[in-house]
């Protein structure tokens, strides 16, 4: 059985809806998204938090669509193009501003769905979160145990619920181990290739309304990174883990290829407090 693993990463995509930080006009949203200081931070988090684990995947058979607008300022547009040359798994989708966000996401994803696949494992990769280096391998191999359940409705979610929450403020990086139900990172939705849907069609915080789901809590599988530029910054439903190590430097390095001391220095240099969002850090 062919399980295609297909992800979507939106990098400062300029479009309507789909986000919690709203603006009255496209011009206002463009000014917010393309602010030079913001883009500098976003690229740094993307490069130091998100990319290392993706580049080091133990199963390199996946596709990640990098979705942005055709007018993304330089040098960031060129850097995204360069990534597609370095990593053939990365595909660049330049999508003009569209009012309906789900339509924009499908416009980015649809050309990369394998019609010959038996199942497509859709995942959403935010540009400041991370997945463990064996996420693709596990999401594909674990599906074999869930195949009969998937066949009932041809929809199924798999939630790797154990991860780390990193918070960046002017005092540096704090690390908290958490169990989070259906966090964005390391959440997979398995659909048939002709579904005309992706993971973006199903809000992660109420996934149970749309399909059966399996929770696999054994491995540390994601990093949820909270920083000044988060759209919401909410941690999500879950709880902390008792009796855990005080120092997560080695785990972050081996499971996610994240250099915690380097990230801590960067947070201090940016000197920004938590975002002004109602649920940031909660």
| Bridge partner list, 65 | 8, 91
- So what's the pLDDT on residue 195? 96
- On the question of a cis peptide bond just before residue 229, with omega within 30 degrees of 0, the verdict is no
Q: Which range has the worst mean pLDDT, 28-32, 54-58, 90-94?
A: 28-32
* SS percent in the chain: helix, strand, coil, step 5: 35, 25, 45
pLDDT reported for residue 242: 87
d(CA 189, CA 123): 7
pLDDT of residue 23: 57
CA dihedral (204, 179, 282, 28) positive or negative: negative
Banded pLDDT at 22 (limits 50, 70, 90): low
Q: Check residue 16 and give its pLDDT.
A: 62
- 128: its two tokens: 């400041």
Q: What does DSSP assign to residue 50? A: I
The pTM (predicted TM-score) of the whole model is 0.94
Query: What are the tens digits of pLDDT across the range 135-185?
Result: 999 999 999 999 999 999 999 999 999 999 999 999 999 999 999 999 999
Q: CB count, 10 Å around CB of 254?
A: 12
Percent of the chain beyond pLDDT 90?
Answer: 84
d(CA 130, CA 270): 20
| pLDDT (0 to 100) of residue 79 | 98
Q: Which residues contact 32 (CB under 8 A, 6 or more apart)?
A: 21, 23, 38
List CB contacts of 238: < 8 A, sequence separation 6 or more: 161, 178, 179, 180, 181, 183
> Does residue 108 register a pLDDT over 60?
yes
CB 122 within 8 A of CB 198: yes
Domains of the chain: 3-270 (3.90.550)
- In the chain, the largest separation of any two C-alpha atoms, in whole Å, equals 52
The band of 272, judged by pLDDT with boundaries at 50, 70 and 90, is confident
CB-CB neighbours of 247 under 10 Å: 9
Burial class (CB in 10 A: 0-12, 13-18, 19+), 163: buried
Alpha-carbon span 98 to 102, nearest angstrom = 9
């Amino acid at each position: 059985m062919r399980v295609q693993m297909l992800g979507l990463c939106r990098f400062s995509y300029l479009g309507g809806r789909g986000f919690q930080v709203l603006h009255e006009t496209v011009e206002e949203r463009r000014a917010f998204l393309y602010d030079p200081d913001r883009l500098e931070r976003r690229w740094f988090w993307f490069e130091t938090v998100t990319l290392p684990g993706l580049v080091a995947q133990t199963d390199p058979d996946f596709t990640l669509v990098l979705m942005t607008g055709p007018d993304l300022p330089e040098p960031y547009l060129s850097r995204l193009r360069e990534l597609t040359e370095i990593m053939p798994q990365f595909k660049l989708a330049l999508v003009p501003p569209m009012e309906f966000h789900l339509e924009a996401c499908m416009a980015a994803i649809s050309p990369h769905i394998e019609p010959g696949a038996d199942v497509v494992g859709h995942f959403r990769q935010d540009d400041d979160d991370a997945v463990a280096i064996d996420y693709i391998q596990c999401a594909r191999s674990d599906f074999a145990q869930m195949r009969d359940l998937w066949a009932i409705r041809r929809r199924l979610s798999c939630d790797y619920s154990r991860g780390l929450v990193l918070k960046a403020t002017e005092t540096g990086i704090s690390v908290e181990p958490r169990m989070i139900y259906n966090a964005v990172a390391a959440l997979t939705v398995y659909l048939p290739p002709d579904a005309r849907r992706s993971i973006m069609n199903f809000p992660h915080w109420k996934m149970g309304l749309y399909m059966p789901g399996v929770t696999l809590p054994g491995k540390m599988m994601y990093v949820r990174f909270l920083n000044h530029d988060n759209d919401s910054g909410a941690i999500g439903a879950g709880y902390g883990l008792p009796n855990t190590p005080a120092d997560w430097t080695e785990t972050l390095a081996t499971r996610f290829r994240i250099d915690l001391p380097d990230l801590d220095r960067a947070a201090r240099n940016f000197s920004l407090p938590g975002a002004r969002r109602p649920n940031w850090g909660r």
